[in-house]
Amino acid sequence: MNLASQAIVTASQMQAIETLIFQAGMPVASLMEKVALKITQRLTELYPPEPYKRIGILAGSGHNGGDALVVARELHHQGRQVKIYQPFTKSKPLTRVHGCYAQSLGIPFVALADLGDCDLLVDGLFGFGLDRDVIGDGAIAIDTINSWQIPVLSIDLPSGIHSDRGNAMGTAIRATHTLCLGLWKRGLLSEAASPYIGNLERIGFDIPEKSIQEILGDRHPLWRIDPLEVISDRLPIARSAIAHKYDIGHLLLVVGSERYGGAAILAALGAKATGVGMLSIAVPHSLKPLMLAQVPDALVIGCTETPSGAIASLPDLDWQKYQAIACGCGLSLDAGQIVEQLINSEQPLLLDADGLNMLAAMGKVRINQQLPNRNSATVLTPHWGEFCRLFPDLREVERLAALQIAVSQTQSTILLKGARTAIASPSDTMPRSNFPADSQVWINPESTAALARGGSGDVLAGMIGGLLAQGMTAKDAAIVATLWHSQTARWLVRQRTEMGVDPVTLAQNLLPFLQDYPSKIVKT
């Protein structure tokens, strides 16, 4: 694992790592030069001189402002028309020196209003570690800039964003592009920061791995999923040249109702895309003709149904022939005791949608008694609303902390859906101070609002089920499916716009995405 590209850190952890670097002999001024030159290089790639000739620099009083001033100097040497706005009278010594040199070069220091005709603004007002609300001239500057229709590139994180929580501290820059410096800041990968960060990239500056390791230790709990690494390592799934269908996994989907037949089809399409060897689908008997027409290669099991068209009961099945079970998509709450029956099975089990709602109806005590005692892995895939129904006492707890507590209580892998989907699996280790349990949390860094439509989650559930049936661990199946699902959607958005990525199109393009996939991922 590449620690620098995948570790997600708090402000205090980042400060401690930088302190080690400086104690080892790296001059602060040299590091600022190195970082600012890397920022300038990336800015030049993203925003070439034409049509971004006029650049406004927002320089704060700290080292984030110092970075911005070095960028201003380099852009001035490129021949760009640079103007600097510095709202604070006092600065750190190194930042003040760079400001003096910028003045000696003839770069104008101007009032905020004079930046209104710029083609691009570079935000270096506040860096990581901001711990109080932005007020006064800083707040006025941020609100004014947000009212302009000018692209903004933020250095490290948008000014005003709390580097650990991701929330706006009173107000915050709404950046077009954010260049995170060094290691990923926890706040940048939170849902709260999503409206502010724009396109997010990391600018590495060769932090020694021993420095990272010394501060984070061997059991660091929070990691960013690397799209290139996951897909390269895991997809497509290798199989023997002499394999037959029963060697490649047999998945049972328990899905569908008269009202939600489409969800069953979408889950089946997601499962098929994983290449699972055999797919059985248990549906209400009245849905059987539809399923056979849509998924002719599946074994469709017709079940007795309720007057409302939901599964009333499952027939006698040979559970041992299934390597995994996925339940819930389109099931409806009228399906009664289906979930309880499946919890008592010996197979890896995924619960989604109404499978989760039925689980919630069982109550906290039974959930915390039955799930930890299963002999195989359990995967729960709630969005926040479903999560709160499952764990109502965690409703007011911070999202990642609540996820950790729920994993500890249920001993289940939980995939908490959202703009920043978070995945955690149970661990046998003891609790730590900064997290309720010492299992790792993996954050999917990139998604798209194109997935915010009914049926997208059904495709994902089928994918996870298909990967589980082929022998992936619960954690790996959840990570791989989440990454594959979101990256395929992002690829389709670039071709079709967000309106063009319906769940059927998404499922049909999961396999085409894997063809020459490195070119389809924007490396960050």
The pTM for the full model equals 0.88
What per-residue confidence (pLDDT) applies to 517? Answer: 74
164 labelled binding-site residue = no
Is 234 annotated to bind a ligand? Reply is: no
Report whether 16 belongs to an annotated binding site: no
Place of tokens 């002499």: 242
> Does the pLDDT at position 435 exceed 60?
no
On whether 399 is known to bind a ligand per the annotation, the reply is no
Residues ≥6 apart with Cβ < 8 Å to 301: 280, 281, 282, 283, 315, 317
Residue 172 annotated as binding site = no
438 assigned to a ligand binding site:
no
Contacts of 152 (CB under 8 A, 6+ apart): 120, 121, 122, 123, 145, 158, 173, 174, 175, 176, 177, 198
Q: Is 204 annotated as a binding residue?
A: no
- Please check if 419 is assigned to a binding site: yes
Distance from the Cα of residue 17 to its chain's centroid = 24
Alpha-carbon gap, residue 425 to 431, rounded angstroms: 14
129 is in an annotated binding site: yes
Question: At residue 234, does pLDDT exceed 60?
Answer: yes
The predicted structure's pLDDT at residue 469: 96
In the 8-state DSSP scheme, what is residue 330?
A: T
User: Would you say 24 is a known binding-site residue?
Assistant: no
Is 88 part of any known ligand binding site? no
Name, in order, each residue with C-beta under 8 angstroms of 44's C-beta and a sequence gap of 6 or more: 78
Q: Is 428 annotated as a binding residue?
A: no
166 carries a ligand binding annotation: no
Is there a binding annotation on residue 383?
Answer: yes
Q: Quote the tokens at residue 474.
A: 């619960």
Binding residue per annotation — 64? yes
Q: Using CA atoms, how far apart are residues 394 and 403, in angstroms rounded to an integer?
A: 9
Are 289 and 270 within 8 A, CB to CB? Answer: no
β partners of residue 56? 83, 121
Within 10 A of 140 (CB to CB), how many other CB atoms are there? 14
Q: How far apart are the C-alpha atoms of 254 and 214, rounded to whole Å?
A: 47
420 is in an annotated binding site: yes
Instruction: Answer yes or no: is 330 a known binding residue.
Output: yes
Ordered domains of the chain (ranges, CATH): 3-213 (3.40.50.10260), 228-520 (3.40.1190.20)
What is the band of 236 on the pLDDT scale with cuts at 50, 70, 90? low
Q: Is 127 annotated as a binding residue?
A: yes
186 a known binding residue? Answer: no
Q: What is the pLDDT of residues 300-339, one digit of tens each?
A: 999 999 999 999 999 999 899 999 999 999 999 998 789 9
Q: Phi/psi at 141 (nearest 5 deg)?
A: -60, -45
pLDDT band at 131 (very low <50, low <70, confident <90, very high): confident
Q: Is position 275 annotated in a ligand binding site?
A: no
457 assigned to a ligand binding site? yes
**Cα angle: 442, vertex 448, 454; to 5 degrees:** 100
Say if residue 93's pLDDT is above 50.
yes
Determine if residue 354 is labeled as part of a ligand binding site. no
The alpha-carbon radius of gyration of the chain (Å, integer) is 26
Place of tokens 């906290």: 364
pLDDT digits (tens, 9 = 90+) for 1-22: 678 888 999 999 999 999 999 9
**Cis ω on the peptide bond leading into residue 51 (within 30° of 0)?**
yes
Instruction: Check whether 156 is labelled as a binding-site residue.
Output: yes
pLDDT of 437: 42
H helices within 280-333, ranges in order? Answer: 288-294
Question: How far is Cα 127 from Cα 125, in angstroms, rounded to an integer?
Answer: 7
Q: What pLDDT, on the 0 to 100 scale, is given for residue 142? A: 94
Question: How far apart (Å, rounded) are the C-alpha atoms in residues 326 and 324?
Answer: 7
Rounded CA-CA distance 307/334 in Å is 9
Amino acid residing at 185: K
How does pLDDT run across 258-303, given as a tens digit for each residue? 999 999 999 999 999 999 999 999 999 999 999 999 999 999 999 9
Which among 431, 432, 434 has a CA at the least distance from the CA of 409? Answer: 431
CB atoms within 10 A of CB 378: 22
SS (H, E, C) 130-173: CCCCCCHHHHHHHHHHHHCCCCEEEECCCCCECCCCCCECCCCC
Q: What is the pLDDT of residues 138-185, one digit of tens each?
A: 899 999 999 999 999 999 999 999 999 999 999 999 999 999 999 999
What does the DSSP assignment read for 419-430?
TT-EEE---SSP
What single letter denotes the amino acid at residue 99?
Answer: G
Query: What is the rounded CA–CA span in Å between residue 513 and residue 505?
Result: 12
**pLDDT tens for residues 500-517?**
899 999 999 999 988 877
